[in-house]
Structure formats: structure tokens, C-alpha cells
Amino acid sequence: MDAQTLSAAVLAGGFSSRMGQDKAKLTFHGTRLIEYQVNKLKRLGIRDILLSGYDGEVDGTRCISDVYPHKGPLSGVHACLLAARNPACLFVGVDIPLVPAETLADLMQTHEGGATVLFAAEKMEPLLAVYDCSLAPQVEEILLSEKTSMKRFLSNVSMKPYQYLGDPELLANCNTPDEFARIAAQEPRS
């Protein structure tokens, strides 16, 4: 799929308890982390950009509230699938700033339907993925159950792996001040 037929969502929810402050508002190379990710998506040509779990404003985006709050990232995925203006949506976590735009572009191009999820070696990264919006009812079914994990959702849908062969450090996420300091010290490559 190309950028004109795809929506994108930056997942910025959660309590940031290990970070001690809202990760999305941290300054990363001169801009807030949320804006950094949004700008990357805009450079890819994506026009419908959603923000999940964010309480501020970013030009050219729409903030989307969870239909089922406090149920983890799957709840943000669900709300964005319902709100997206295109048939599929690219998802990226706000706390994975080093993921190259080129990797996201390759992920988009690989998507042929269902779920396309990035794998680094054997590790699945369900928050670096493209999901068809038609999957929203299946996500809702999981959200209404007791076990609301991304892995449970993905075990029930047609999933295509996108094998990432780049530097694994570029997929590091920042959940603590030390992790953020280590990531922020690196020069972005996208």
C-alpha cells in the first residue's frame, strides 16, 4: 500500500510510570517526541495521522480517545482502526523514535491485507505494524474478554511478518529516563 491509501497512528497512551513523565512530551532532537514521530509520518506522505492516548494538539493530526479505556495498547489500536479514513492504518509507538522512515515505508509497501507486523529476528513488534481497519470487530471481541493482549489478537487474524534486517538498536523504545537518555544521545538516521 502507498501513503495515499493508508492512515497512520502514533500510539502515545499509557501512564509513563517508569519514565515519571509523559513520554510523548519529552524533547528529542529539538522537538517533542510526539511531533518527531508525526513529522516522520508526514515525510512519508501520509495525510491522515491519528494520535492515540495524547492530550495535546499537533498540527495535521486528530486525537482519538479509546472506546474501551485502560485496556492497554490494543484499545488504542481499536479506536484508531475505527477512526481511520483509509482502509488500513500504520501503527508506530511514540517511544520508538529511532525507527527509520525507510523501515516504515517498507512495512507499508509489504502490506497486502490483514495484519503486517514487523519482526526483528524472532521478536514480534506489534506496535510497528499495518492493520486493516476491517479488523476492528475482532479487536473489539478481544477487548471485551479478560485477556486483552496484542499477541492474543494477532493469533486470531491473518498475519504476514515483515522481517526487519536493520540495526536492532533502532527499534529500542524508551520507557525509563536512562533508556531515553541513551536513545536521545544517538543521531537520528531517518
Residue from 85, 183, 77, 50 nearest 137 by CA: 77
The pLDDT value recorded for residue 189 is: 66
Q: For 113-128, how does the pLDDT look when each residue is reduced to its tens digit (9 = 90+)?
A: 999 999 998 899 999 9
The pLDDT value recorded for residue 127 is: 94
Is residue 144, in this structure, part of any structural domain at all?
A: yes
Q: What does the pLDDT average to over 40-44?
A: 96
Q: How confident is the model at residue 13 (pLDDT cuts 50, 70, 90)?
A: confident
Which CATH number fits the domain that encloses residue 132?
A: 3.90.550.10
Cell of 134: 476491517
Query: How far apart are the C-alpha atoms of 107 and 183, rounded to whole Å?
Result: 22
Q: For 53-111, how does the pLDDT look when each residue is reduced to its tens digit (9 = 90+)?
A: 998 899 999 999 999 998 989 999 999 999 999 999 999 999 999 999 999 999 999 99
The two beta strands, 123-132 and 115-120, are: antiparallel
Alpha helices in the chain (DSSP H): 33-43, 73-83, 101-110, 136-143, 150-154, 177-184
Query: How far apart are the C-alpha atoms of 109 and 121, rounded to whole Å?
Result: 20
Cβ neighbors of 171 (< 8 A, separation 6 or more) are: 96, 98, 99, 118, 120, 125, 128, 164
Number of domains the chain is built from: 1
The pLDDT value recorded for residue 187 is: 76
Is residue 189, in this structure, part of any structural domain at all?
A: no
Cα 183 to its chain centre, rounded Å, is 18
Is residue 120, in this structure, part of any structural domain at all?
A: yes
Is residue 25, in this structure, part of any structural domain at all?
A: yes
Global pTM value: 0.93
For residue 139, the enclosing domain spans 3-184
The pLDDT value recorded for residue 2 is: 73
Is residue 156, in this structure, part of any structural domain at all?
A: yes
Distances from the Cα of 188 to the Cαs of 85, 99, 121, 141, 153, in angstroms? 30, 9, 22, 38, 32
Is residue 72, in this structure, part of any structural domain at all?
A: yes
Residue from 119, 136, 140 nearest 128 by CA: 119
Query: How far apart are the C-alpha atoms of 18 and 46, rounded to whole Å?
Result: 31
The pLDDT value recorded for residue 66 is: 95
Is residue 190, in this structure, part of any structural domain at all?
A: no
Cell of 121: 529476528
